[in-house]
A and B are shown apart, each in its own frame.
Chain A
Amino acid sequence: MSRIRFFDATLRDGSHAIKHQLTKKTIADYCEAMDDAGMYTIIVGHGNGLGASSLQVGLSKLTDEEMLTTARKHLKHTRLGVYMIPGFGTIKDNLRPAIDAGADLFKIGCHCTEADTTRQHIEFIRNQNKEVYGILMNCHMTSAERLLEEASKMQSYGAQGIILMDSAGASTPEMVKRMTATLVDSLYVLVGFHPHNNLGLAVANGYTAIQEGAGIVDGTLRGFGAGAGNVQLEALSALLIKEGYELNQNLYAMLDASESIVRKTMKEDRALTDLSIVSGMSGVFSSFKTQVLAAAEEFHVDPRDIFAELGKRKVVGGQEDMVVAVAEQLSHPVKKDTESYMLESLT
């Protein structure tokens, strides 16, 4: 069996946790420390990917180009990876410049039911002879059968692997088992899983996916990432070693970088906070946390109520504008028409 590929998203998903304020020094130090750690790729950028620096999801301290050129300089042996969500970034403004800046590997993502929006981008990357993977976000929001349908589309566009993102950390191990097995049984490309830790299951879910035949785990050191954080790759590695898996990754290198670089970069520890748990329960993408907290303060409403309401509305990644709309509505009681008021008084 071929060895598990780790896609290291520390410098991408981690950006969410520090409001996209990564510094050149952190990127340089991290890439230098991890270049020989056996990661299949190190992905760098704004949390939502290329072209996502915005008022909607958060402005980045560095431009995409600054981040990529810095990483490129310090990665000699590891593929430099980037992420992009069509609708945020475009071929002209973002993919071409990323290729020029030296990116080797591309992850093209969309909400789990919208794979056809990635066709242009996956085909474009393939035609540039770069490596490309399809990402289905918020995979807990649809059935395993539908995921297979969408993954098959991406495979037909030329994606060299499909990664399911459990963006809200809302998947149970049973769900992970079912969705991974369904894809592995029918696709000829590699399947991967990207766990989040809202329910404390990230390592377990990463491991379950591997047991079901996933060849890629997309995670971060120290769990540095959006909301409750990601699967902590050091812990997963330890578990895999215990279970007798042969790894390409160097556990000590990961642990060292985690302690010496990532710990300093993280603003808070990755314990399960109230909002992490509520966003996991509501099934709302963890990265909404920043916007929810700001809106809760601005409109004097409970951030937990905002998450619950967003969950009812089934918002998807990128719909951060709904946070303000929901908070504004929660901030004043619903105006009632006379009829419903009378009906309510009767009950």
Chain B
Amino acid sequence: MKKVRAGIIGTGNIGSDLLMKVMRSEFLECGIFAGHSPDSRGIARARELGVPVTYDSIHYIEENPDCCQIVFDATSAKVHEKNAPILKKLGKYTIDLTPAHIGPFCVPQVNLEEAMEQDNVNCVTCGGQATVPLVHAMSRVADIKYVEIVATIASRSAGTGTRNNIDEFTQTTKEALTELGGIDRAKAIIILNPAEPPITMHNTIYALADDPDMEEICKAVGRAEKELQKYVPNYKIVLGPVFENGRVTIGIEVTGSGDFLPAYAGNLDIITCAAVEIAENYARRKLL
């Protein structure tokens, strides 16, 4: 079957994990894996896998525009700000995995359809992909006054890009909770834990609501979890929803499929799975 070529810019943890998922896709193939650093371990690895690679980053795509129709940008917020207008001019459907937030947010379980009509969509953050769907589900059955999420990830799974963008990461996650979650007030807290062996990605959602109907909340959240599991198979609610100390609390763990980093790095998987879900739908509907 004919596949759509996708380019990946950024060869760190996220780009490398994404590559494995693109290579497995029924609808996508990697047209170019683009980085800039001659020491990139990601590029060395991709070359061994037989994937076309370049050290020329986005310039390669400018000079060889036929190498891909869809571009995943897994660089950093600052770099994506420069890349976005170039990709727009080249007419590439762009899926942004940095917290730059230039195009509108997309969390596939919540608003995949809208993303099909854009030229640049933003994948929020791993914490956002993990929590926005459940917040969105709760806000439809309860009058949620305030939501807070805490995303804890293993230090080893946070690469240079994530660390240099911790500020955008925090801010963007919060903004996605209000924009897509259907609530007015939100807060996001991000924690890096260096414990060895590394901890699995853990997310907690706290929600304040007047007199919440826990039965309805559990049902709505359960449905959202199932839908999410269709594209993030290792997504799991491990606590609740429970009503404790005057708040609704949900605990979530995301284990990875071990594509690039070991299974603890579910934070890579949840955002790369979301990005691939968007790309496959776009490829299927618009390009194939």
| Chain B residues numbered 16-40 whose CB sits less than 8 Å from any CB in chain A | none
**Does the CB pair B167–A318 fall under 8 Å?**
no
Other-chain residue from B167, B171, B191, B239 in contact with A316 (beta carbon distance below 8 A): B191
Contact of B191 with A318 in the complex, beta carbons under 8 Å: yes
A319 neighbours in B (Cβ, 8 Å):
150, 152, 191, 193
Complex contact B193–A88 (CB within 8 A): no
Q: Decide yes or no whether B236 CB sits under 8 A from chain A.
A: no
User: Hey, which chain A residues are within 8 Å of B146, CB to CB?
Assistant: 55
Determine the main DSSP class of A at the interface with B. Answer: mixed
Q: Is A328 an interface residue (CB 8 A)?
A: yes
From B56-64, B81-89, B222-230, B245-253, the one touching the partner chain is: B245-253
Q: Chain A nearest CB: distance from B92 CB in Å? A: 29
Tell me, yes or no, whether A91 is within 8 Å of chain B by CB: yes
List residues of A (251-309) whose CB comes within 8 Å of B's CBs.
294, 298
What is the CB-to-nearest-CB distance from A86 to chain B, in angstroms, rounded to a whole number? 5
A299's closest neighbor in chain B, by CB?
Answer: B244
A276 to chain B, nearest CB (A): 23
Contact indicator A92/B171 (Cβ below 8 Å)? yes
- A114→B194 contact, CB < 8 A: yes
Total interface residues on A, CB under 8 Å, equals 37
Known: A86-B170, A321-B152, A325-B239. A111 touches B189 (CB 8 A): no
Q: A88-B189, A319-B193 are in contact. Are A54 and B148 (CB under 8 A)?
A: yes
Which residues of the other chain, B, contact A51 by a CB distance below 8 angstroms? 187
Judged by DSSP, the binding face of B is strand
Contact B187 A120 (CB under 8 A): no
Interface contact B251-A321, CB-CB below 8 Å:
yes
A160 within 8 A of B: no
Give the residue name and chain of the B residue nearest to A138 (CB).
B194
Is A120 within 8 A of B166, CB to CB? yes
Asked whether, in the complex, the Cβ of A114 is within 8 Å of the Cβ of B189, the reply is: no
Q: Count of B residues near A, CB < 8 Å?
A: 35
Complex Cα–Cα for A121 and B164 (A) = 10
The digit string for B170-203, where 1 denotes a CB below 8 A from any CB of A, is: 1100100000000000010111111100010010
Residue in contact with B171 in the complex, picked from A93, A110, A119, CB distance below 8 Å: A93
Set of chain B residues within 8 Å of A141, measured between Cβ atoms: 194
CB <8 Å contact, A116 and B189 = no
The distance in angstroms between the C-alpha atoms of A110 and B238, with both chains bound, is 27
- Are A298 and B171 neighbours in the complex by a CB distance under 8 Å? no
Extra A-B contacts (13), CB below 8 Å, given A55-B206, A56-B148: A56-B204, A87-B166, A87-B192, A91-B167, A111-B192, A120-B167, A298-B244, A313-B199, A316-B191, A316-B192, A319-B191, A320-B150, A324-B204
Spell out B's residues near A (CB within 8 Å). Answer: 146, 148, 150, 152, 155, 160, 163-167, 170-171, 174, 187, 189-195, 199, 202, 204, 206, 208, 238-239, 242, 244-245, 247, 249, 251
Q: List 9 A-B contacts (CB under 8 A).
A: A56-B148, A87-B191, A113-B155, A113-B194, A117-B192, A119-B164, A319-B152, A322-B202, A328-B239
